Structure 1
Amino acid sequence: MSIWWSLHLRREAASVPLARRLLIGTMETSGVDPDISFDLSVALSEACANAVEHGGRERPGEKTGAYRVTAYLDGEKCRIEVADSGPGFPARRVVRRSAPAPALTSENGRGLRLIEQLADHVHVRNRPGHGAVVSFDKILKWREGALLRAV
């Protein structure tokens, strides 16, 4: 059994906890280990916050722009993807996985590094003319008697 869902959200701060709560609820109901659920929910919050802050261009008729969150829970793995419509990442960030750590006084630059620490695999890419995509995977651990537990 597997579950997937996709949200199309406004680029507003209030959308971040909505996505996080949906993910936590899905994983809790499915029987995912709470520590794994917490790690993924923090990573998702960071990816959504990046999309809200840096997701860029507003389209005609849209006041705030939008971004998309898609989550797949399938057997042993969860994959989450956050796609925005902004300018994308600088080319060096997409190519180099180990960007220098931000200065201690910097207000930006920690979100992707945190996602990299919480997930098993992180992929950052640009969609030319359409924004950035951050996707990350994590191997799931299950509670005893979980509904989706891999057999």
Structure 2
Amino acid sequence: MSIWWSLHLRREAASVPLARRLLLGTMESAGVDPDISYDLSVALSEACANAVEHGGDSARDTSTGAYRVTAYLDGETCRIEVADSGPGFPSGRSRAPLRPAPSEAEHGRGLCLIEELADHVHIGNKPGRGGAVVSFDKMLKWRDDRPLVAT
């Protein structure tokens, strides 16, 4: 079985739960184990929140710009990609291992959380015009009563 979808969303906080609900609904319909679905939905929420906050020309102006979410459920794997049109991650250096934010910090935990919840994570920049890309995947587990079964 293979399912994929892509969303083009405005950089608004209200777009984050929309993407999360669509992912959860897709996984429930496909018969994915609820614990796996929850982990991926939290990781997706974090990636979307980063795109909303940092993915435009100005980190403070979230009213302009858009970002894209693409999800693939293919065989035994779910792969999710969130790409924005902002400045991207600092160029010219390979990404250092992520460190958790200090306990008193209000921000800075999202990418670390994604790395904890997913099996493989890639964080980088789009080629050309710029923008950040966060992609991650996770092996799927299935409910015993899953409605969609590959034939």
TM-score, normalised on structure 2?
0.89
Aligned to 2:122: 123
Show structure 1 runs of 4+ deviating over 3 A.
91-94, 147-151
Query: What corresponds to 1:31 in structure 2?
Result: 31
CA RMSD of aligned residues (A): 1.9
> d(CA) in 2 for partners of 1:94 and 1:71?
25
The alpha-carbon deviation at position 95 of structure 1 amounts to 2.2
Query: 1:88 — aligned with what?
Result: 88
Distance in 2 (CA, whole Å) between partners of 1:149 and 1:92 is: 45
8 Å CA contact 1:76–1:149 kept in 2: the answer is no
1:57 aligns with 2:65: no
One-letter amino acid of the structure 1 residue matched with residue 134 of structure 2: V
Q: Is 1:103–2:102 an aligned residue pair?
A: yes
CA–CA separation in structure 2 for the residues paired with 1:143 and 1:26: 14
Provide closer, same or farther for how the CA distance between residues 148 and 57 of structure 1 changes in structure 2, counting only shifts above 3 A. Answer: farther
How many residues align? The count is 146
Matched residue of 1:95: which SS? coil
1:92 CA displacement: 7.8
Superposition pairs for residues 132-143 of structure 1, below 5 Å?
132-143=132-143
Q: Which residue of 2 aligns with 1:48?
A: 48
Q: 2:7 matched to which residue of 1?
A: 7
Distance in 2 between residues matched to 1:94 and 1:115, nearest whole Å = 18
**What stretches of structure 1 of length at least 5 have no aligned partner?**
none
TM-score (norm 1): 0.89
Q: Summarize deviations over 1:66-116 as a string: whole Å, max 9, x none.
A: 0000000011000000000011112488522x2333222222210000000
CA change 1:47–1:93 in 2 (3 A) is farther
Aligned letter for 1:103?
P
Structure 2: runs of 5 or more not aligned: none
Identity %: 74
Q: Is the 8 A contact 2:89 2:125 kept in 1?
A: yes
SS of the residue aligned with 1:4?
A: strand
Deviation at 1:145, TM superposition (A): 3.6
Q: Establish whether residue 69 from structure 1 lines up as the match of residue 69 from structure 2.
A: yes
Residue type of the alignment partner of 2:131: G
> How far 1:41 sits from its partner (Å)?
0.3
